[in-house]
Chain A
Amino acid sequence: GEDVEQSLFLSVREGDSSVINCTYTDSSSTYLYWYKQEPGAGLQLLTYIFSNMDMKQDQRLTVLLNKKDKHLSLRIADTQTGDSAIYFCAPKGGYSSASKIIFGSGTRLSIRP
Chain B
Amino acid sequence: DADVTQTPRNRITKTGKRIMLECSQTKGHDRMYWYRQDPGLGLRLIYYSFDVKDINKGEISDGYSVSRQAQAKFSLSLESAIPNQTALYFCATSDLGPEGRETQYFGPGTRLLVL
Contact = CB atoms under 8 A, between A and B. Distances in A.
A92 B100 contact: yes
B96 interface: yes
Contacts of A30: 99-100
A105 B43 CA distance: 7
B34 to A, nearest CB: 13
Nearest to A88: B42
Q: How large is the interface on A (under 10, 10 to 19, 20 to 34, 35 or more residues)?
A: 20 to 34
Main secondary structure of the interface of B (DSSP, over half): strand
A8 B96 CA distance: 30
B41 interface: yes
A105 B103 contact: no
B108 A103 contact: no
Given A45-B103, A97-B100, 6 more contacts: A33-B103, A50-B99, A88-B42, A88-B43, A97-B96, A100-B45
Interface of A: 1, 4, 8, 30-31, 33, 35, 41-45, 48, 50, 88, 92, 94-101, 103-106
